[in-house]
Amino acid sequence: MKPQRPPRPTTHLTVLDRQWLTPHMVRLTAGGPNFDAFRDAGFADSYVKIVFDHEGRPYDEPVDVAALRASTPNETWPKTRTYTVRSVDRQARTISIDFVIHGDSGIAGPWAATVEPGSLIQFMGPGGAWSPADDADFHLFVGDESAIPAIAASLERLPGDAVGAVILEAAEHALDVSAPAGVTVEWIVRGGAEYDPTVLAERVGRLDLPEGDVSVFAHGEREAMKHLRRLFRDIPRERLSISGYWAYGREEDVFQAEKRTEIGKI
C-alpha cells in the first residue's frame, strides 16, 4: 500500500494589496507577522491550495484544515482552490498570487476581485517540483492565462543568454511578460471566438524547434494539454513538465476528482 503523505499545515497571511493587472487578472500581495510560516521550496511552479469554507466563503479566523477533516463530516469540509505563487519577496516578507477573473463565477476569483487589505488568506502548501534548467539549449513555454504566473516566474529565472519561445493563449487581454532577449513571446488572443483546445497545439506544431537539448513547460486547460502531449513524444521526461491546471466546463472539485480517472490523464 502506498504510504499516505502527512497533511499539509494550513498557513494564514494577511492580504496587504490588490492590484489589477488586466481587466480580467488581479494580483494579491500577502504577508504580515505570520510570514515566517510560509515554507517556500523555491520552485518556479510553486503553488498553494487556498482554503474556503464548505459554502465557498473565506474564513474570518485561522483554521486547521487537517483537524477539520478529522473531526467534521466531509460535507462540511473546507473547499480548496489551487493557485501558483507568482513571487516571493523575502526582504519585504510578502508573496504575490495572480487570479484570473471570470465575472462572478467560481469561488476564488470573485473573492480575490473584492477582498480588502487586512483580510485573511489561508492556504495549504506550497507544493511544486519544477524550475527551468539553466543548461538547456532551448526553452519552450506554452500555456493559457492559468499558466502565466508560473511561466513568468520561470522566465525571470533564465540566464540572460537563454534562447527559447513562449506561446500564450488569452481570452481577451495580453499581459506584459519579461523575457531574455533570445526568448520570443507570442500571444494568441481569442477575442469573441469560442474556446478551442486545439489552438495551442496547432501553433506549436508549426514551430521549427532546434536540434539539441530542448526543455518544455506546458500547462493549462486539460484537453489542450492532451493535444500538446502528442507533439512532445521525443522530449525526454526530465525535460518535460506538462499538466492540466483546469478543465473547460468543470469546477475545480470535479476537475480534481477526475485526475484519478482515465479522462484526467495527460
Pairing of the two strands 25-31 and 10-22: antiparallel
Q: What is the pLDDT of residues 7-42, one digit of tens each?
A: 678 999 999 999 999 999 999 999 999 999 999 989
The confidence band for 4, taking pLDDT boundaries of 50, 70 and 90, is: low
pLDDT at 5: 59
Q: Which residues contact 227 (CB under 8 A, 6 or more apart)?
A: 197, 198, 200, 201
Query: What percent of the chain is predicted at pLDDT more than 90?
Result: 82
pLDDT at 250 over 90: no
Would you call 10 helix, strand, or coil by DSSP? strand
Q: What is the CA radius of gyration of the chain?
A: 19
**E strand or H helix that includes residue 168:** strand 164-170
pLDDT at 7: 66
Give the global pTM. 0.93
> Are the C-beta atoms of residues 122 and 11 closer than 8 Å to each other?
yes
Q: What is the mean pLDDT of residues 111-130?
A: 96
> Are the C-beta atoms of residues 45 and 128 closer than 8 Å to each other?
yes
Q: What is the pLDDT of residues 40-67, one digit of tens each?
A: 989 999 999 999 999 999 999 999 999 9
pLDDT at 6: 63
Distances (CA, A) of 260 to 123, 154, 264, 266: 23, 28, 6, 11
pLDDT at 154: 97
Q: Supply angle C-alpha 181, 201, 42, rounded to 5.
A: 55
Return mean pLDDT, the chain: 93
pLDDT at 59: 95
pLDDT at 237 over 70: yes
Q: What is the pLDDT of residues 201-210, one digit of tens each?
A: 999 999 988 8
Provide φ and ψ at 151, rounded to 5°: -70, -45
Query: What percent of the chain is predicted at pLDDT more than 70?
Result: 97
Please give the Cα distance from 60 to 38 (Å, whole number). Answer: 19
pLDDT at 1: 45
Provide the β-strand partners of residue 215: 139
